[in-house]
Each structure stands twice: as C-alpha cells, then as structure tokens.
C-alpha cells in the first residue's frame, strides 16, 4: 500500500505550478532597498532562499504615497521594475518560484514618509503606535479619509502594480490584506466608519478588498494571485466588532475567484495578550475556504508536519526561520541544527552594514 502521508516535503500543485515542497518563505519586512529601489544584495538574499516551495517578497509599495517604512521597495516606477528583474532572475536561476507582495500602508505611515502629505485611510481614525521615519521614531498621525471618488484610483494602483510585477518577471502576486494596512483598514469596523458603499455592513467593508482582488485577477490568471489575511491581528490598534462574521464572509466571497491560495496568520503572543482573539485561525476558517491555504504562526518542522497531516492547511510559511537559515528545507530534511536569529539585524539601520543579518547567515557545507 502506498504511503499517502503528507508532510512539508510532499510536492503540491498550486495553481499553475507544481511546488517541490510545502514550505513557503513568508513575506518579511527587511528594509534593504535603497531609495525604494531593490538592489543586487536583495537578489542574493532571495536567491539564497530559493529552495522554498514558494518565496513571497517583503511588502512592496504600489505608489509613492503607499509607503510606511524607510528603505521599503516599490513596484510603481520603471527603475523599480528593472531592479526587481535581477531578483526574479536570480531566484529562477536557482529553480525557485517567487511572488511579489503588493502593499499599501494606508494610515500606518507619516508625512515624513509621504513628501509631507497626510496618510490616507477609510476614515480619519489614527492607528495606535509609532514607526521609524527618516529622522527617527514618530507618532502616527490622524490620517485623511479618502473621498469616495478617490478609491477607484487606489484600486487602479494595485492593478498597475500587478502589471509591473509581471513585467519584472514574478511568477505571481500576493495582496497584503493583513496587519492593519489599507485593505485591512477597509475591512475592519474599528478603522472603517464610512457611510458610503465602502462602509457600514460587512458586505460594504469587504468591497474594497474584493475590488482589488478582481482588478489584480484581470492582470494575472487568478491561480497566480494570493491574499494574506490576519483575523486575529492587533497591530496598530486594528480591530473589528465581529471578526468571525467579517472574515467568514470575506473567505466565502474569495471562493469565487479560485485564487492560488489564502495566507492566514495565527495570532502572535502580543495579539493574545492584547485582547480575546480568534485562536486558532486556521481551524476556525478552513471549513469556509475551498482553495489552498497557507498557515503562518510560530511553526517549526514538527508543528508544520503536524498541521499538514491534519489537513487543516495545505502549506506552511516560515518567517524568522528563513531569515536565519537560507537553506531551511535542506536543514529540515537532514534534521540539521538551525542558525540562531539575530533580532538586532532583522531591519536595516542607517549605521548598519546591510549584509549583516541578511545575506551572511551560513548554509550547510555538504
């Protein structure tokens, strides 16, 4: 009798692709772009990790006014597109597959990052917290509420970002619908108190997300489009009065598109300490979604294999483990020791050697 046990090393058909394993390199903000333009160092970084079944890039700006961090890359200018091509070429030479994560920060930004303009959001409600601007830590300002007639322009920026990603040689795109950024801000009623057809009911609040998905699926076949959601995330004060209903409706609507996957984030320790959140996310929402799911949230080899064996998720994404271990699949296969993560170098700093904690983690010497 054939062994039908599924684990991290079982190949899987994901839309247009047969992936060699079910280990996804999670999108992670690393902030090594220079002037929003990807570099050859970033190409080296992603190529080092091309043995993942799928690589998903860090959050990438769809317009100059979508920025939320210093040294974050963009995908809205010809220079950025050309620069990303060196990244996709490097990953493809290693036999990997790579999706670009399309992102708009919304209210999680500051005028110092936006040429002096206020951040935009569904409603004029400030996010909670601080971020690092060009001259140091800043408090998040109250954003400007988008006018109804401005919203289609934002949708168009996502569409154009998807077109640019194709030109740059990516294999697909992931929409960042999580972590309290713009798509998430429209979806959750703690940040969306609009009175037009983008606010109020769950159907209205999900409208922006679904319009963006539809626009991007007009650029790419839907089996090359994914979306990341975080129903239990509390970053920057994001919250919803009924997340179970809000995200249940959203996932049911996403079934229509037959996407490559939905990437679902489990709550972090901070989320669990902040308030009573849905936990676990994957078990709660998996029955509602008919396509492939990726789960993320503190998985190691044992826990990853365990969740795949239950059938509750189809793939598992790893963040910090992929930062410190460029050859993570090989290490898991061989049960080799893992490199330890240097937390001080996760993000770039102005006085830091950009290679440090980025491309200098060693691979196994076989």
* Residues 92-105 pLDDT 10s: 999 999 999 999 99
Provide the percentage of residues in the chain whose pLDDT is more than 90: 96
Instruction: Check pLDDT > 50 for residue 240.
Output: yes
Tell me which H or E stretch contains 282: helix 281-285
pLDDT digits (tens, 9 = 90+) for 48-78: 999 999 999 999 999 999 999 999 999 999 9
**Is pLDDT above 90 for 11?**
yes
Picking from 168, 170, 187, 169, the residue whose alpha carbon sits closest to that of residue 178 is: 187
* pLDDT the model gives residue 62: 98
Sign of the alpha-carbon dihedral angle for 53, 57, 59, 64: negative
What is the reported pLDDT for 297?
Answer: 96
CA dist 192 and 185 (Å) reads: 6
pTM of the model: 0.97
**pLDDT tens per residue across span 265-282:** 999 999 999 999 999 999
Report helix angle 207-217 to 151-167, nearest 10. 30
pLDDT tops 80 at residue 343: yes
Q: Which residues are catalytic?
A: 181
DSSP secondary structure, 250-273, as one string? HHHHHGGG--SEEEEEPP-HHHHH
CB atoms within 10 A of CB 117: 12
Query: Cα separation of 245 and 210, whole Å?
Result: 16
DSSP H helices in 77-150: 78-93
What per-residue confidence (pLDDT) applies to 1? 42
Architecture per CATH, domain 15-342, reads as Alpha-Beta Barrel (3.20)
Write the pLDDT tens digit of every residue in 161-182. Answer: 999 999 999 999 999 999 999 9
Q: What is the mean pLDDT of residues 143-162?
A: 98
């Amino acid at each position: 009798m054939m062994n039908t046990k599924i684990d991290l090393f079982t190949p899987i058909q994901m839309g247009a692709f047969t992936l060699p394993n079910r280990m996804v390199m999670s999108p992670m903000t690393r902030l090594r772009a220079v002037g929003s333009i990807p570099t050859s160092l970033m190409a080296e970084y992603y190529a080092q990790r091309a043995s993942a079944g799928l690589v998903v890039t860090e959050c990438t700006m769809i317009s100059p006014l979508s920025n939320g961090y210093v040294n974050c890359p963009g995908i809205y200018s010809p220079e950025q597109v050309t620069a990303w091509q060196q990244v996709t070429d490097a990953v493809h030479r290693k036999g990997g597959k790579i999706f670009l994560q399309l992102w708009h920060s919304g209210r999680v930004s500051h005028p110092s990052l936006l040429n002096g303009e206020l951040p935009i959001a569904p409603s004029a409600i400030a996010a909670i917290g601080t971020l690092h601007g060009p001259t140091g830590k800043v408090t998040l300002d109250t954003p400007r509420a988008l006018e109804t007639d401005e919203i289609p322009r934002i949708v168009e920026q996502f569409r154009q970002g998807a077109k640019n990603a194709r030109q740059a040689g990516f294999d697909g795109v992931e929409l960042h619908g999580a972590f309290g950024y713009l798509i998430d801000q429209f979806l959750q009623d703690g940040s969306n108190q609009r009175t037009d057809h983008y606010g109020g009911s769950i159907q209205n609040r999900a409208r922006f997300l679904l319009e963006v998905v539809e626009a991007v699926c007009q650029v790419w076949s839907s089996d090359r489009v994914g979306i990341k959601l975080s129903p239990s995330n509390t970053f920057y004060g994001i919250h919803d009065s009924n997340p179970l209903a809000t995200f249940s409706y959203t996932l049911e609507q996403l079934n229509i598109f037959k996407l490559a996957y939905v990437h679902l984030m489990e709550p972090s320790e901070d989320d669990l300490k902040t308030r009573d959140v849905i936990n676990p996310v994957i078990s709660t929402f998996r029955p509602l979604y008919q396509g492939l799911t990726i789960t993320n949230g503190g998985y190691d080899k044992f826990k990853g294999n365990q969740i795949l064996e239950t059938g509750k998720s189809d793939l598992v994404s790893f963040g910090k483990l992929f930062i410190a271990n460029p050859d993570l699949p090989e290490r898991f296969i061989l049960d080799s020791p893992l490199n330890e993560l240097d937390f001080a170098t996760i993000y770039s700093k102005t006085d830091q050697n950009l290679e440090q904690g980025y491309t200098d983690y060693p691979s196994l010497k076989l």
